[in-house]
Structure 1
Amino acid sequence: MDILDKHTSYLETFLESIQPTDSYNRSTGELVSMLVEWLQRHLSYRVDRVVKSGSFGKGTHVRGYADLDCVMVLNAFTGLGDRRDRGEEVLADIARQINNTRWAINVHKDYYVVKFTMQKGDVKLDVDLLPTFEVLGHYPPSKDTLEGIYRKMLQLGGRDVSFYSAPLCQLQLEFVRLQPTRVKSLIRLVKYWLKVEVGGQEKPGMRYPKSFAMELICIHVWEKAGSPLRFDMAVAFKAVLKQLENYRSMKVVWTKHYSRNIAEQAMRAHSITKPILLDPANPTNNALAWIPQEALDHVAEIARQSMRRQLLRSVVLPYQWDV
């Protein structure tokens, strides 16, 4: 990652170079619109609502690297039972229909999602298509509505409760999308580091942190520093890397949508232990839960090495940013 071997004075210029251009955003937006229109007109299930998330929906994508989480509320699922019992059949059917189009390549599925890539000219878009059931109802949901949803989730087992991540996606999307522009620039920088620096050293078959975890860690570090609207990007970047180095002690919980009490109950009910990075939309989802310790240790070591290189070597963290 060449930026790590530059002087800090070059960092703002580098940030501009990874900021998506208007042309790139337009081309990617056209792919998204084409997909949504196709889903609403041609899919063999009625699509009642679409939520466009992922890095493109949140506005945290790096130039040349955009992904879309397209959550579809389908009439095929009247609730959790349908999603559990008919999910595999519906996903297989959707994957078959997507595979028969001319614009989707590398189509495959798992228990939760249909994955494929769309391309227009030089622009590629990796898509996760997540069919789900309605949970939130009228948007935005009231505190009482959310409280009822979360209390119901506390009673559910592992796989059943995991089906709630998709219908709660809009809360997750807006938590990140509404962050200040400067914070999104920090997220973009850390994502670039993850893709180039960590991605270049990944161990085969190892599962590494995803971009959502990085978004949450950036937001957490910035909030701990007092949520400043203006800040030194080199300081913030080093603070995030230091948090990644010290990941083992993390216990991060947001209480915008659920109470501290709900969060603690969820962590006990689902045996969630440190490191904890709790999804702000779903108290049963630890964003670090499915990443093996060996991978987190590897990321921590790469973060440690990155802080010793020219860009960050002489950067001193003020006490607000010293995580």
Structure 2
Amino acid sequence: MLECKCSQELQRFADKKIRPASGSQSAACVAEISALLQLIQGCFPVPASRVIQGGSYVKGTDTQGCSEIDIVLLSDVFASVNHCKKQLREGLETLRENLKRTSHGNRLYLCNDRDEAQLCALALLPYQVDFVKASVVRVKGLSRLMIHWFKTSFANTTKEMELLTIYIWERAEKPLFFSLVQGMRAVLKLLVRYAEIDVVWHRHYHPKFPIFVKVNQKHTRPFILDPVNPTVNVCDTCNAWDEVAHVDLRSGLVAATFRSSSVPLSSDTNS
């Protein structure tokens, strides 16, 4: 990817190697997700009153060969959160056993998060999706580019790439059009200085909200607070920031050779 010498080459690379497939392949993906959703609903041990979908596929930041979707089923049979928690383990075990009897049974694994954390995270899913979907198409394209870079440089992709891209775009006053080269260089430059990363959004909670104040007082760098969950620093999922900065620095040196290196993020030029 970094061997591209101009913005046009980088865009062609993104269109060919990163952008999700369209046409018949896209239709097949939609059909697969619909079938999986129906399967999970059919295996759910209680009636589902509402279904919420999230993940990169729904947010529009998925890449070729790397698309994930979150499915949340809500039910009215539970009288309260405590009632749900009491039956959660039994319900999940029933769901797991039902799914194991299907052709998708070999794809399952159990989440090790605490029950309370899972329930809170599930409730916030629609807001997390809306936060990312509110960005322009160009930003989602840049997010895919950075996710691809991270995935091919390290073992796994992480949520901070998506949020860092949005942060860079907002800091540039949300331009509708910009060079992918300049957007990528801006994110890489920030990653090299990862110890300075301190990103917080206050759209869904007040700066004096007790939970936020407590987390903010304890935070270490890099720090990217989940935009809708003031208890989660998404950077905690990565413990190899020195390696990220090292690989990023080598990437940045290559990126600096792009002929459009003097073009600001807000420009739409492709030269």
Q: What TM-score do the two structures reach when normalised by structure 2? A: 0.86
Q: Distance in 2 between matches of 1:62 and 1:244?
A: 21
Q: Matches of residues 33-72 of structure 1 in structure 2 within 5 Å? A: 33-72=34-73
How far apart are residue 87 of structure 1 and its match?
3.1
Indicate the residue corresponding to 1:12 in structure 2.
11
After superposition, the C-alpha distances for 1:270-295 in whole angstroms (9 at most, x for unaligned) are x3333221111111111112322xx1
How far apart are residue 192 of structure 1 and its match?
0.8
Q: Matches of residues 208-223 of structure 1 in structure 2 within 5 Å? A: 210=158, 212-223=159-170
Q: Distance in 1 between matches of 2:192 and 2:25?
A: 34
- CA 1:298 to 1:164, structure 2 compared with 1: closer, same or farther past 3 Å? same
How far apart are residue 184 of structure 1 and its match?
0.4
How far apart are residue 13 of structure 1 and its match?
0.6
Q: Distance in 2 between matches of 1:318 and 1:266?
A: 41
After superposition, the C-alpha distances for 1:178-213 in whole angstroms (9 at most, x for unaligned) are 2110000000101111111223xxxxxxxx661x22
SS at match of 1:38: helix
How far apart are residue 175 of structure 1 and its match?
0.7
- The amino acid that maps onto 2:106 is I
Indicate the residue corresponding to 1:171 in structure 2.
127
Q: Distance in 2 between matches of 1:240 and 1:230?
A: 16
SS at match of 1:45: coil
Contact residue 226 and residue 320 of structure 1 kept, 8 A:
no
SS at match of 1:33: helix
Q: Distance in 1 between matches of 2:147 and 2:165?
A: 10
SS at match of 2:236: coil
Contact residue 5 and residue 257 of structure 2 kept, 8 A:
no
What stretches of structure 1 of length at least 5 have no aligned partner?
A: 113-157, 200-207
Contact residue 138 and residue 176 of structure 2 kept, 8 A:
yes
Q: Distance in 2 between matches of 1:24 and 1:96?
A: 31
Contact residue 224 and residue 320 of structure 1 kept, 8 A:
no
2:257 is aligned with 1:256: no
Q: Matches of residues 269-280 of structure 1 in structure 2 within 5 Å? A: 271-280=218-227
- CA 1:246 to 1:79, structure 2 compared with 1: closer, same or farther past 3 Å? farther
Q: Matches of residues 186-225 of structure 1 in structure 2 within 5 Å? A: 186-199=142-155, 210=158, 212-225=159-172
Indicate the residue corresponding to 2:33 in structure 1.
32
- CA 1:209 to 1:66, structure 2 compared with 1: closer, same or farther past 3 Å? closer
Q: Distance in 2 between matches of 1:209 and 1:31?
A: 23
Contact residue 179 and residue 265 of structure 2 kept, 8 A:
no
How far apart are residue 84 of structure 1 and its match?
4.1
Q: Distance in 2 between matches of 1:312 and 1:163?
A: 44
CA RMSD of the aligned region, Å?
A: 2.5
How far apart are residue 69 of structure 1 and its match?
1.2
Contact residue 197 and residue 221 of structure 2 kept, 8 A:
yes
After superposition, the C-alpha distances for 1:220-250 in whole angstroms (9 at most, x for unaligned) are 0111111111111101101111112212222
After superposition, the C-alpha distances for 1:60-82 in whole angstroms (9 at most, x for unaligned) are 10022111111222346544434
Q: Matches of residues 129-148 of structure 1 in structure 2 within 5 Å? A: none
- The amino acid that maps onto 2:3 is D
Q: Distance in 1 between matches of 2:72 and 2:264?
A: 40
How far apart are residue 296 of structure 1 and its match?
1.7
Percentage identity across paired residues of the two chains: 27
Q: Distance in 1 between matches of 2:48 and 2:244?
A: 39
How far apart are residue 305 of structure 1 and its match?
1.1
Q: Distance in 1 between matches of 2:262 and 2:90?
A: 53
Contact residue 43 and residue 99 of structure 2 kept, 8 A:
no
- CA 1:109 to 1:75, structure 2 compared with 1: closer, same or farther past 3 Å? farther
Indicate the residue corresponding to 1:96 in structure 2.
97
- The amino acid that maps onto 1:26 is A
How far apart are residue 218 of structure 1 and its match?
0.5
Q: Distance in 1 between matches of 2:90 and 2:243?
A: 38
Contact residue 45 and residue 91 of structure 2 kept, 8 A:
no
What stretches of structure 2 of length at least 5 have no aligned partner?
A: 267-271
